[in-house]
Every structure is written in C-alpha cells, then in structure tokens.
Amino acid sequence: MWQALRQELFPRGLEIVTVALDTGGSDAARAWIEKANPEHPALIDQAHRLDELFGVVNVPSGIWIDEAGMIVRPPETAYPRRPAFLDREIPADASPRTRDAMLETKKLQIDADAYIAALRDWVARGALSRYALAPADVIARSRPRSLDEATAAAHFELGQHLHRGGFGERAIEHFRAAADLQPDNWTYKRQAWNLLPKGASSLDVYGTDWLTDLRKIGAENYYSAVKF
C-alpha cells in the first residue's frame, strides 16, 4: 500500500521511508520487506531507536519531516488506505478466540481517507498546508516522558539487551516491567510477545495477550484519533 502511494507522490517531492521495529533484526523483517519489494528505503530498527526518539507507541505510525529536516507532524496513526481487515469475513471454521479477535479488530477506529487526503495536501502545498504544524504545535503534541515512561524505556532496552545476549528468561521480567509502567505502549508489548520461544503463549508467560489488553481499553482507544 505504501509502495502505491509512493509511486503517486514521489514525482511531486515526497519520499516514503518505512522502518521495521524489530529486535529480531533482518532475520525477522527481511522476508516481509522482500515480499513487498519496495522502491522506497525500507529500514530495520533492531534497537527500537526510532520509537525511543520519536515516541512511537503503536504501529503503523507516520511522522512527517519536511525538506529542512523539521518534523511537521509527530507520530500518529498512519494507514495508506482502508485496511482489509476491517471488512474481512470471519471464516466459519474460526476458533472462538480467533473469531473474538477479528470482531474486536473490526471496531478499531481508522480514518485512512482523511489521513491520506491531508498527506496529499501537504505534498501539494508544503508549508502552506494547514496540516503542516508549526514547531510550537509539534512540541505541544510531543509530550515529555514521565518518570514511569522513562523507567519503562530503560526496562525495555535492558530486556532487549538480555534477549540478544541469550538470556531470554531474564529478559521477560524487564519486558513485563516496561508494559506495566507504560501500558499504552503497544510497541513494548508486541515486541515482547514476538520474542517468546516457539510454542510459548503470551497468556502463559505474561498473563495477557493482544485481545485481552484490547478488551481492557476498548478497541476504540487502541489508536489515538488523528487531530487535523
């Protein structure tokens, strides 16, 4: 989807850069990138530096950066078109938990049309676009870390370090601490769940999973509304 949008807007001055946030590095992300066969830069952020520096807490998120290297929109939900999962039919043979997960997925609040319309306006009008925020507005939307969030980031980084060093069991306690301290950071949770040993269940190890946590907050709160 991003590739199609890039083909449309690149001749008008927009470059799209996708970043896979995955501690597993190229082993985890290469197959997805190769399948997409993108013409745009497709990076792999093994250390999660992008989410640390920009405050990304869920995916997909988009950040707009102008020709001068200035952020004109901080991280926000970014879909290049209406995702297929919102309209996908539930298979008759789906397990009860799969059925429940698909039903919850259909409740996610995603307005891809409005987001892409805003992006096209910015490409066409640049700094004159009403969607390009002034520096003060970017700062206002980029809240500083609380002490809990800073501590969560430290736990998450330590968990990654331990996992890469082969201490997976010890990493779990730090991933758990990161999620407890910043429960709205789905990047932490998703990564921790993805690094479990093959066959292990996040429900068994962490006592939770995507569906359980989504139900706690309500599907309508999973993505923050994009402010235009």
- Written as tens digits, the pLDDT of the chain (228 aa) is 899 999 999 999 999 999 999 999 999 999 999 999 999 999 999 999 999 999 999 999 999 999 999 999 999 999 999 999 999 999 999 999 999 999 999 999 999 999 999 999 999 999 999 999 999 999 999 988 999 999 999 999 999 999 999 999 999 999 999 999 999 999 999 999 999 988 999 999 999 999 999 999 999 999 998 999
57 shares a domain with 6: yes
The verdict on 127 and 41 lying in the same domain is yes
Query: What CATH number does residue 67 fall under?
Result: 3.40.30
Same domain, 181 and 70: no
What pLDDT, on a 0 to 100 scale, did the predictor assign at position 137?
Answer: 96
Domain count of the fold of the chain: 2
Q: For residues 5 and 16, is the Cβ–Cβ distance under 8 A? A: yes
Give domain status of residue 104, yes or no.
Answer: no
pLDDT value at residue 46 = 96
70 and 170, same domain (yes or no) = no
Look at residue 207 in the predicted model and tell me its pLDDT: 94
Which domain covers residue 185, as residue numbers?
147-221
133 token code pair: 């925020």
Question: Do 175 and 67 fall within a single domain?
Answer: no
Contact at 8 Å (CB) between 57 and 187? yes
Looking at the structure, tell me whether residues 118 and 154 fall in a common domain.
Answer: no
Residues 21 and 123 in one domain: yes
Whole-model pTM?
Answer: 0.93
In a domain, 127, yes or no: yes
3-state secondary structure the chain: CHHHHHHHHHHHCCCCCEEEECCCHHHHHHHHHHHHCCCCCEEEECCCHHHHHHCCCCCCEEEEECCCCCEEEEEEECCCCCCHHHCCCCCCCCCHHHHHHHHHHCCCCCCHHHHHHHHHHHHHHHHHCCCCCCHHHHHHHCCCCCHHHHHHHHHHHHHHHHHHCCCHHHHHHHHHHHHHHCCCCHHHHHHHHHCCCCCCCHHHHHCCCHHHHHHHHCHHHCCCCCCC
pLDDT number for residue 144: 85
**Does residue 227 belong to any structural domain of this protein?**
no
| Domain-embedded: residue 103 | no
69 and 176 belong to one structural domain? no
Does 129 lie in the same domain as 42? yes
Same domain, 192 and 119: no
pLDDT for 143: 80
